[in-house]
Amino acid sequence: MTASLAAGPSCPVPLVSNDRVQLGHGSGGKMSAALLRDRFLVHLDNPVLAALGDAAVVPVEAGEIAISTDTFVVSPIEFPGGTIGSLAVHGTLNDLALMGARPRYLTAGFILEEGLPFDILDRVVADMARAARAANVAVVTGDTKVVERGKADGLYVNTTGIGVLDPTLKPLPDAVRPGDVLIVSGPLAQHGMAIMAAREGLAFEAEITSDSACLVPLVDLLRGEIGASVRAMRDPTRGGMASALNEIASASGVGVRLDEAALLIPDPVAAACEMLGLDPLYVANEGVLAAFVSPGRAADVLARLRSHPLGANARIAGAAVGDHPRMVVLHTKLGSRRVVDMLPGDQLPRIC
């Protein structure tokens, strides 16, 4: 800690720290303005945000917009593969994209804990800015509050996203019909196990890295003429693939067959799940797309997804069926079947 107010020779103890968040930074006064300038605008700068109004003013075309809000409380706030900053951008942009929308604007509302070191805050905000820039979306307005030590856990952040609906791609959770093919874009359970390993300080043979990624470029490959064949899409985050498929099965009134042999679970992730007694189907993903596609176009959708690095491991992993409506059934590698229900509570808290 160093002194930010000049401390005379008779006052050898620093009056206030200038390397950590203080309660005064949440006051709406000069310290708030300095925090905004030095910790946020340096990273997130753009003309709309820089106007610093109580609201951002941005153009939209007539039509439908999609609005998504997510609050992130992940612990720890830095982990292999990302930080709470990039996770918050990816999470909200993915929610918009998987509704078929083209993300346009983001907001960021921070709750900072008194005492949070500025170097951690800087890394989180820079990571948020990088993720937003990569997705070509601007953080157009924000808010910062500070709470006393112990009243938060480093920092929490809410991101709200606004996107413009695309008439060529309008997936709906209740639009799936028996025969539709389930395509999963990549390996499962990486995000949740990366957080778990980082939180518990577990050392596995290989470091597990979060799959946190912006799915917008992958979704963009499904726009246009092929879009009509995409019946439903989800990113299986909190609650994992099991919860996402149950939600779609329930909304569409169909059964879902899930083929275990087709699911890709990286070896270190599978080993970590086994060691901790966790089922990877319930572990959060932050860069995986699950889509139900009309059977005639499934090969085409698969080829498009595989053309992008994020979808290089895409595969057909099951189908919607007329049997066992509203139920997800796993066909195991050993040939047995088991119902994959939603969990009542959580395997892993504070994963996002």
Of residues 115-154, those binding its own copies (CB under 8 A)? 140-148, 150-153
Q: How far is the CB of 156 from its own copies (least distance, A)?
A: 6
Looking at the Cβ atoms of 8 and 28, the one nearer to its own copies is 28
User: Of the candidates 96, 249, 281, 327, which one interacts with its own copies according to CB under 8 A?
Assistant: 96
Question: Phi/psi at 233 (nearest 5 deg)?
Answer: -140, 150
Looking at the Cβ atoms of 70 and 127, the one nearer to its own copies is 70
For the purposes of burial, counting CB atoms within 10 Å of the CB of 266, is it exposed (0-12), middle (13-18) or buried (19 or more)? Answer: buried
Hey, which residues does 139 pair with through a beta bridge? 106
Among residue numbers 72 through 91, which ones bind its own copies (CB under 8 A)?
A: 72-73
Give the span between the Cα atoms of 88 and 72, in whole angstroms.
Answer: 6
User: Of the candidates 21, 44, 77, 111, which one interacts with its own copies according to CB under 8 A?
Assistant: 111
Looking at the Cβ atoms of 140 and 263, the one nearer to its own copies is 140
Structure token digits, residue 332: 């195991």
**Site for its own copies contains 110 (CB under 8 A):** yes
User: Of the candidates 99, 288, 298, 340, which one interacts with its own copies according to CB under 8 A?
Assistant: 99
x-or-dash pattern for its own copies, window 299-318, by CB under 8 A?
A: --------------------
User: Of the candidates 24, 80, 179, 227, which one interacts with its own copies according to CB under 8 A?
Assistant: 24
Q: How far is the CB of 349 from its own copies (least distance, A)?
A: 5
**Site for its own copies contains 280 (CB under 8 A):** no
Q: How far is the CB of 85 from its own copies (least distance, A)?
A: 16
Among residue numbers 168 through 227, which ones bind its own copies (CB under 8 A)?
A: 173
**Axis-axis angle for helices 267-276, 190-200 (nearest 10):** 60
Are β-strands 255-259 and 315-321 bridged in parallel, bridged antiparallel, or unpaired?
antiparallel
Looking at the Cβ atoms of 66 and 125, the one nearer to its own copies is 66
Structure token digits, residue 56: 């951002």
- Alpha-carbon distances, residue 160 vs 213, 224, 284 (angstroms): 17, 26, 20
Looking at the Cβ atoms of 232 and 320, the one nearer to its own copies is 232
Give the span between the Cα atoms of 254 and 275, in whole angstroms.
Answer: 34
**Site for its own copies contains 29 (CB under 8 A):** yes
**Site for its own copies contains 54 (CB under 8 A):** yes
Give the span between the Cα atoms of 244 and 342, in whole angstroms.
Answer: 9
Q: Do 182 and 292 contact (CB within 8 A), yes or no?
A: yes
Size of the site for its own copies (CB under 8 A): 83
Stretch of residues binding its own copies (CB under 8 A), selected from 38-46, 65-73, 296-304, 331-339: 65-73
Nearest to 86 by CA among 104, 97, 74, 96: 74
Give the span between the Cα atoms of 291 and 298, in whole angstroms.
Answer: 10
Looking at the Cβ atoms of 174 and 267, the one nearer to its own copies is 174
User: Of the candidates 21, 22, 86, 125, which one interacts with its own copies according to CB under 8 A?
Assistant: 22
Q: How far is the CB of 153 from its own copies (least distance, A)?
A: 5
Looking at the Cβ atoms of 156 and 292, the one nearer to its own copies is 156
User: Of the candidates 36, 77, 82, 105, which one interacts with its own copies according to CB under 8 A?
Assistant: 105
**Site for its own copies contains 23 (CB under 8 A):** yes
Q: Is 179 helix (H, G, I), strand (E, B) or coil?
A: coil
Give the span between the Cα atoms of 23 and 259, in whole angstroms.
Answer: 53
Structure token digits, residue 52: 């610093």
Structure token digits, residue 198: 């980082």
Give the span between the Cα atoms of 285 and 212, in whole angstroms.
Answer: 7
Q: How far is the CB of 180 from its own copies (least distance, A)?
A: 18
Give the span between the Cα atoms of 318 and 328, in whole angstroms.
Answer: 10
